[in-house]
Amino acid sequence: MAADTDIFLEHGNLGRPLAMSVGLHLALAGIIVLFGVILPARRGAMWGAGGGGDAIGVSLVSTIPLPASSIQTQNVVANESKGLSQSQPQEKHEEPDAIPIPDKATKTKPKPVTSASKAKPKPEPEEETNEVPFGQGGPVSGPYGTFSAAGAKGGFGFQGGGGDFGSAYAWYVRVVQQKVSENWLKYEVDPSIHQANRVYVVFDINRSGQPTNVQIEQSSGVPSLDQSAVRAIQRIDTFGPLPPQYAGNKVTVEFWFDYKR
């Protein structure tokens, strides 16, 4: 099949487009000259080094490796009081007509088996602990940032699931928690976000204490929050070597981040 090509051999009249093109180019060059050279007399040799660099005064400095601050309470001396947050005893509702059925009432739920199963264990629900084990407690405050303090009630609790690591080496779990919390820079999160779902991050700690294989297990839906959580862990060089009595080569940590501005 012959391609039907009609090529008109007339010269296209390009005079007018050419004139418009030249004119627009000249106008553009003129605008560049105008705004670049003639107008900004003040922007001179200090390009790049000028400006105050917006130093902002705030009362928050985050990743100094000190634990977040002394507790501010009225009474400085440690005493036996359970602190400013008291646990409320659960009110028991007793039905006056109920007769307890002897057999079925004593059935206990089997403890959830965690490490042996193939499926990843579900993240545990947030638990509010009223426990304040070290004398008076209350909201932790001070010159250091309020990441873990806002809404926290003091007192340390961990859910050491899986294996015996958490129960045998509670002090190491505490170190992990403290280091990650210290290195989490809340200002990396989008400032328009005030509250977000939890983001769960999973990583391994190898024998020398380095965090490796950092992954987001469950996103919070806010990308900047997810990234700030991952960066918090990547920022850490080491948690300290794993306890020498621990036989494994690594420990897997599932860490959740609660963000509340």
Partner 1 sequence: MHYGHLKMEKYRITINSSPQPLLRMDDHPRIRFSLALLILVLVVTFLAPRSFAQDWIRTGTGLGVEKIRLAAADFQPSTQDPKNTDLLKIFNDTLSNDLDNAGIFDMVSKSFHPTQVPGNPSQVRFEAWNGPPPNAAMLAFGDLGVTGNNVLVHGWLYDVKNVGSPQVLGKQYTDVATTDAARLIAHKFADEIIFRLGGGVPGIAESKIFFVSDRTGHKEIWAMDYDGSNQHQVTHLGTISLSPRISPDGTRLTLSSLTKTGWELVMFSLDLNRAVSFPRMGGTNLSPAWSPDGTRIAFSSSRAGESNIYSADQSGSNLHRLTSDRGPDVGPTFNRKTGAQIAFVSGRTGLPQIYTMEADGTNAQRVTDQGYAVSPNWSPNGQFLALSWFRKYGPGAPGANDIYIMDIASKQWVQMTHDGGRNDFPCWSPDGRHIVFQSSRSGTEQIWTMLADGTKVQQLTFSGRNSQPNWSWK
Residues 205-224 that bind partner 1 (CB under 8 A): 209
Identify which of residues 1 and 98 has a Cβ nearer to partner 1 in the complex: 1
The residue among 26 and 159 lying less far from partner 1, judged by its C-beta, is: 159
CB of 55 to partner 1, least distance (A): 4
Query: Which DSSP letter does residue 143 get?
Result: S
Residue 8 Cβ, how far from partner 1 at the closest point, in Å?
A: 6
Span 57-96, contacts to partner 1 by CB under 8 A: 57-71, 78, 80
Q: Is 147 in the site for partner 1 (CB under 8 A)?
A: yes
DSSP 168: H
Of 9 and 98, nearer to partner 1 (C-beta) is: 9
Residue corresponding to tokens 């199963």: 117
Other C-beta atoms lying within 10 Å of the C-beta of residue 134: 12
Contact 230, 216 (CB under 8 A): yes
Cβ atoms of residues 203 and 214 within 8 Å: yes
Is the Cβ of residue 26 or residue 167 nearer to partner 1 in the bound state? 167
- Residue window 25-64: x/- pattern of binding to partner 1, with contact defined by CB under 8 A: -----------------------xxxxxxxxxxxxxxxxx
* Rounded least distance, CB 88 to partner 1, Å: 19
**Residue 117 to residues 112, 124, 253, Cα–Cα distance (Å):** 10, 16, 17
Sole binder of partner 1 in the list 144, 189, 222, 233 (CB under 8 A): 144
Q: Is residue 230 within 8 Å of residue 185, measured between CB atoms?
A: no
**Whole-number Å distance between alpha carbons of 157 and 131:** 8
Interacting stretch for partner 1, rule CB under 8 A, among 18-26, 91-99, 102-110, 158-166?
Answer: 158-166
For residue 155, state whether it binds partner 1 (rule: CB under 8 A).
yes
Q: Which helix (H) or strand (E) holds 213?
A: strand 211-218
Beta carbons of 261 and 194 less than 8 angstroms apart? yes
- Amino acid at residue number 234: Q
Nearer to partner 1, 107 or 122 (CB): 122
Q: In terms of CB distance, is 164 or 190 closer to partner 1?
A: 164
Identify which range of 27-35, 89-97, 100-108, 131-139 contacts partner 1 by CB under 8 A.
Answer: 131-139
d(CA 147, CA 153): 13
Nearest-approach distance from CB 214 to partner 1, in angstroms: 14
> 104 exposed, middle or buried (CB, 10 Å; 0-12, 13-18, 19+)?
exposed
Choose which of 21, 72, 86, 114 interacts with partner 1 (CB under 8 A): 114
Q: Which of residues 161-200 bind partner 1 (CB under 8 A)?
A: 161-168, 170-171, 173-181, 184-185, 187, 198
Residue that is written with structure tokens 């020398």 in the block:
208
